[in-house]
Structure 1
Amino acid sequence: MTRHSAALRSPALLALVLGAVAATGFAPLDIWPATLIGLAGFAWLVHDAPRLKSALWRGWLFGLAHFTVNSNWIQHAFDFQSAMPPALGYVACVALGLYLAVFPMLAAGIAWRLGRRAGFVPDAAFILILAAAWIGTEWLRSVLFTGYAWDPIGVVWLPVQAFAGIAAWVGTYALSGLTVAMAGLMPVLARRRWWMALPALAVPALLQPLSYLRPTSPQIAASTPRVRVVQPDIGQEDRSEDDGPRVLDALLKRSGAPGPAPRLIVWPEGVVRDYIEDGYPRWIYGLHSARSVRAQIASVLGPRDIALVGGTALAFDRDDSITSAANSVFAIGAAGRIVGRYDKAHLVPYGEYLPLRWLLEPIGLSRLVPGDIDFVDGPGPANLTLPGFGAVGIQICYEIIFSGRTVDPAHRPRLLFNPSNDAWFGTWGPPQHLAQARMRAIEEGLPIVRATPTGISAIIAADGRLLATVPHETAGAIELPIPPALPPTLFSRIGNPMAALVALLFVGLAVALRRRSR
């Protein structure tokens, strides 16, 4: 092993640049080789640090640039909040990056402390320990303080279906660790034989065109249940109380006409302004009773059709004052009756509730979603059992990003419905959100149907392929036979303990390599 003599003049600046470069591998840019290059430089930069403090600092700067660039869409949410200036959105992007950068920092510190050999260049053992630490810290990011699992590194492989498919076996967090290992080992191998590093870039590049091939569709009977996804292209600014009738009319017009097969018609989150349930105080309903709204929805349904409609459910005290709200999906049958309801379980902090309201509200902070009443959480991943369609799992918006926590393990559904309100998310957020839904399809072996107000709505096959989409900021609808589910994947049976197993395997290999080199 040769002694390391490289001297970095500006390691802090380089860490920032590498973090930003690594962020370009995610949607909408999808430059996955840039992520590998960024991670490879990150690994060497961490190993080059003379002290633990320097390694932590470099890891934190890498994460700061990485998450600030990747989460730039958050600024757009502030454009719709009158209580806070839009310019505060830019501060929020950086502030979120300041926090999320802690996790690459921890991975860097663990790798430096446990895997670095002073005076030497990085070896395979160091890279494997870094990859194991990355798995652990990425999982920690998904659970700490309710979790923020947006864009784990493994998502960059979606353009290369063969690599993304590894998630069906080990899950997204383990795939992220494999990606860090692949990237970090490129220069390690190149130091021995330059051409040994080529497969890390060349093999995925050669496999990428295969991702666009589509298998021949089997013959489908005319009676096979279908799903129809409606995207009205109604922006957040066009959804006031006065816009309710126009929005409902736009949804109804694109819901199609009944046919010989039962249809599952799915609408987005956050567009129906009227209340769906009966039994509320009269002052709540205004001009439109819940029964009349449901009757309008039922008017486009055939006798075996069911509509899944996003809405808000309210709870009241004895004085008819609102005590809480739930972000819900209602299943409405052809007779205009509610046949099922799901309440969102994993709520968005600062979006659906304000953490530490007693402290933050007096200093002028508020939720990004207008309103003073916080939403309450539902019981967790659950299904709606719908006549003619079977068990349909529901994951509202943000819930779909949490690997291993999207399906009721005791009752596997035939598909997942993911209504979302991506109108808040600018131009980068919607494709990133869609990408994470595709990863859940791969992990669970289940088709996923996404409906959003402004895009990107999609019907996703159980292997993560996009079967049909409505583009961003486009009004339209897509309808297909409900895609079949695959047999339960290894990951769907075991879950995130698979990530722990892969991390332990990396650590074991690292120990074995070090002992062998002595």
Structure 2
Amino acid sequence: MKLLALAFAAGLASALGFQPIGAWPVTILAFAMLLWLVERAPSRRSALARGWWFGLGQFVLGLNWIATAFTYQAAMPAWLGWVAVVLLSLYLAVYPAVAAGLAWTWGKGRPLAFVLFFAAAWIVTEWLRATLFTGFAWNPAGVTLVGRSIAPMATIVGTYGLSAFVILFAGLVWIAAAGPDRRPALVLAAVAIAGQIAAALVVPRAPDGAGPPARIVQPNIGQELKWSPAFADRNMAQLTRLSNGHDGEPRLLIWPEAAVTEPLQDERRGYLPDVLDVRRRVVAAIGPGDLLLTGGVTAQSEDGVSASSATNSIFAVGPGGRILARYDKAHLVPYGEYLPMRPLLSAIGLSRLAPGDLDFEPGPGPVTLPVPGAGLVGFQLCYEIIFSGEVVDRAQRPAFIFNPSNDAWFGAWGPPQHLAQARLRALEEGLPVIRSTPTGISAIIDSAGNLLHSIPMGEAGVIDARLPLPAPPTLFARHGNILPFLFAILLAASGWLVRRRAIAEAPNSR
């Protein structure tokens, strides 16, 4: 039990590498402790248990922001938020457990092979976590390396491959500390140096120059006020005030997710006057010649009378309130934007976290849409940006990705973690990412994942800047998640060769 408690403590420590703490060396040390614990396990069952307790600690602390979301939902008690965090973590911890079990099975007793197998297994299990049961890709291990010199390796092996480098670095620490044979540590050090060199050589650079001028608006409208009809006029006045004050060339005006909470498009007969009134108020907030990109909602109707569903959308609004383009969010958040098993769960008093009784309908997936004055734009709404390899229509590459979000209900940890993952998408795809959120963190991220401009959490403000240009497509942008899988195969094959050589040399050592 003491070793399981140690695994849990190491998992807690590993979460300190995620934002807003950002103590990435602690994460490396915590994973080194995990490697030591798992490799010393007396059985596969024990190895699985130690990996599971490590994962439980990491997810319980790293996902604490989910509990904050429940404080904005009057239909359910706030304490249920921590129940949700624990229950989700109990499930997510299965993936580190599987990686630990596989590494123990193939590499037990041979430290270098064990580390290589663990890194390969971590790639696969992290991808599975992001894929199965709609996927939950939040906080991959590799995101702790954003801003570090090894981070550009994501342009080659993606986020899941970058996570493998966390394991390799941890293995280097563990083997170097364990002694006396440090030759395996030298091998891992050579791999790390090769990764650094490759990252420096192959990252495409964006051309000189800049794109269209833009103003990103962060109105600092809290979640408790956002959907309140009593504050609708005040909220629109805040957006209008921050949007005005520009008399230069036409620009892109960029608002957050669901900045307009009343439908901008409505299929119900008789609601056209309401829609036109909403559009008139939106148009009053934008300058002549400006084009607005804003989050909003639609109301859909099967009979033309009552609303049957809705979409969480991004609209490009032009002169006169004309809708020039619309993107519907595809990767919806379970329990946030739709309630699974609605008849059963609603009968016991549960509801979705976002306001409203209608579930959102998903859109078709990543699309690139032509937007006047902006060119080809890719769209990823809020949570969608966390899914590596799933954010761009590869058949029609955009000039940038617009990622409006609403992080207002995710406490102090959720928004900076969300931003860090958006930086990884920019790096992987070689595309700028533009973020606007109600309460922060709004930002402009360049194609190398650098944070060019940002507005802190809890502040109202604007960013006036020209948008950065895209870089040429990265290797990852061209081939996607096949690359981390090839990296996993390479690591596993290397582990197998090391294991085979160790077995062959064993008789000679007697």
Does the pair score TM above 0.5? yes
Quote the residue 2:359 is aligned against.
374
Alignment of 1:75-224 (within 5 A): 75-117=67-109, 122-160=110-148, 162-190=149-177, 191-192=179-180
Q: Distance in 2 between matches of 1:509 and 1:483?
A: 40
SS of equivalent to 1:427: coil
Shift of 1:358: 2.6
Shift in Å, 1:303: 4.4
Task: Output the CA distance in 1 between the equivalents of 2:283 and 2:356.
Answer: 30
Q: Aligned equivalents of 2:343 and 2:279: distance in 1?
A: 38
Query: Do 2:51 and 2:96's aligned partners in 1 also have CA atoms closer than 8 Å?
Result: yes
The Cα offsets for residues 434-468 of structure 1, whole Å up to 9 and x where unpaired, read as 00000000000000000111101101111011110
- Could you tell me which of 428, 442, 459 is aligned with 1:457? 442
- Kindly report the root-mean-square deviation, in angstroms, between the aligned alpha carbons of the 2 structures: 2.3
d(CA) in 1 for partners of 2:150, 2:391: 22
- Alpha-carbon distance between aligned partners in 2 of 1:424 and 1:296, rounded to the nearest angstrom: 26
Q: Which of residues 383, 390, 401 in structure 1 aligns to 2:368?
A: 383
Partner of 2:405: 420
Verify the 8 A CA contact 2:295 2:314 in the aligned structure 1.
yes
Selected match of 1:507 from 487, 492, 505: 492
> How many angstroms apart in 2 are the aligned matches of 1:468 and 1:501?
35
1:279 to partner: Cα distance: 5.3
Contact 2:377 2:398 in 1 (8 A): yes
Could you report, residue by residue, the CA deviation over 1:16-61 in whole angstroms, capped at 9, with x for unpaired residues? Answer: 0110111100000000000100111101111111111111111110
Amino acid at match of 2:143: V
Give the gaps of 5 or more residues in structure 2. 201-205, 505-510
1:241 paired residue number? 229
**C-alpha distance in 2, partners of 1:319/1:411?**
35
Report if aligned partners of 1:124, 1:185 keep a CA contact under 8 Å in 2.
no
Alignment of 1:302-341 (within 5 A): 302-318=287-303, 320-341=305-326
SS in structure 2 at match of 1:307: strand
Partner in structure 2 of residue 44 of structure 1: 36
Conserved in 2, the CA contact under 8 Å of 1:168 and 1:442?
yes
Q: CA deviation at 1:229?
A: 0.8
* Alpha-carbon distance between aligned partners in 2 of 1:318 and 1:515, rounded to the nearest angstrom: 67
2:9 to 4, 7, 17: 17
8 Å contact from structure 2 (residues 268, 307) kept in 1: no
Q: Is the 8 A contact 1:225 1:261 kept in 2?
A: no
CA contact (8 A) 1:304 1:388 kept: no
SS of 2:253's partner is strand
Q: Offset at 1:290?
A: 2.2
Opposite residue 268 of structure 2, the aligned amino acid is: Y
> Percent identical across equivalent pairs?
50
Q: Give the whole-Å Cα distance in 1 for the aligned partners of 2:208 and 2:447.
A: 18
Deviations 1:215-245, CA, capped at 9 Å, x for gaps = xx99868xx5112110000001012012111
Match of 2:203 in 1: none
Secondary structure of the equivalent of 2:166?
Answer: helix
Say which is worse superposed, 430-439 or 301-310, in terms of deviation.
301-310
Once residues 208 and 17 of structure 2 are traced to their aligned partners in structure 1, the CA distance between those partners, rounded to angstroms, is: 37
The alignment status of 1:447 with 2:432, answered yes or no, reads: yes
- Specify the code of the residue in structure 1 equivalent to 2:3: P
How far has the Cα of 1:273 moved from its partner? 2.1
1:266 aligns with 2:266: no
Counterpart contact for 1:234–1:271, Cα < 8 Å: no
CA distance in 2, matches of 1:279, 1:98: 42
Match of 2:263 in 1: 275
Distance in 2 separating the partners of 1:48 and 1:399 = 39
1:92-128 CA-partner distances (Å, limit 9, x unpaired): 11111101000001101111112213xxxx5100110
Q: CA deviation at 1:153?
A: 0.3
SS at match of 2:139: coil
**Secondary structure in 1 matching 2:142:** helix
- Secondary structure of the 1:165 match is helix
**What is the deviation of 1:82?**
1.2
How much has 1:407 moved relative to structure 2? 0.2
Contact map agreement 1:422 1:429 (CA 8 A) in 2? yes
Residue 318 of structure 1 deviates from its aligned partner by 2.0
Checking the alignment, whether the CA contact within 8 Å between 2:123 and 2:163 is kept in structure 1 is yes
Match of 2:244 in 1: 256
Tell me the alpha carbon deviations over residues 383-436 of structure 1, each in whole angstroms, 9 at most, x when there is no partner. Answer: 221112111111000000000000001010000000101011000000000000
CA distance in 2, matches of 1:493, 1:133: 24
Q: Is the 8 A contact 2:175 2:184 kept in 1?
A: no
How far apart, CA to CA, are the structure 1 residues paired with 2:494 and 2:184? 20
What is the alpha-carbon distance in structure 2 between the residues aligned to residue 106 and residue 279 of structure 1? 48
Please say if residues 302 and 334 of structure 1, whose CA atoms lie closer than 8 Å, have aligned partners that are also in contact. no
CA shift in 2, pair 1:301/1:473, >3 Å: same
Q: Distance in 2 between matches of 1:197 and 1:32?
A: 20
User: Structure 1 residues 151, 421: closer, same or farther in 2, change over 3 A?
Assistant: same
* Shift in alpha-carbon separation, 1:498–1:241, aligned structure 2, 3 A: same
Q: Are the counterparts in 2 of residues 257 and 300 from structure 1 also a CA contact under 8 Å? A: no
- In the other structure, the counterpart of 2:24 is 32
Q: 1:93 to 1:491 in 2, by over 3 A?
A: same
Q: CA deviation at 1:359?
A: 2.4
The number of equivalent residue pairs is 489
How big is each residue's C-alpha offset from its partner over 1:161-198, in whole Å with a ceiling of 9 and x where there is no partner?
x2111101110001101211221232223424779969
SS class of match (2:326): strand
CA contact (8 A) 1:278 1:291 kept: no
Q: Is the 8 A contact 2:439 2:457 kept in 1?
A: yes
Counterparts of 1:432 and 1:384 in 2: how far apart (Å)? 28
Q: Report what 1:298 is aligned to.
A: 283
**SS of 2:130's equivalent?**
helix
- Distance in 2, matches of 1:145 and 1:220, equals 43
Query: In structure 2, the residue corresponding to 1:452 is in which secondary structure?
Result: coil
* Residue identity opposite 1:374 in structure 2: D
Contact 2:379 2:403 (8 Å CA) reproduced: yes
- Structure 1 residue 364, shift from structure 2 partner: 2.1
Q: Return structure 1 stretches of 4+ with deviation > 6 angstroms.
A: 193-200
1:18 and 1:147 map into 2 onto residues whose CA distance is 25
Answer yes or no: is the 8 Å Cα contact 1:303–1:334 preserved in 2: yes
Inter-CA distance 461–113: structure 2 relative to 1 (3 Å threshold) = same
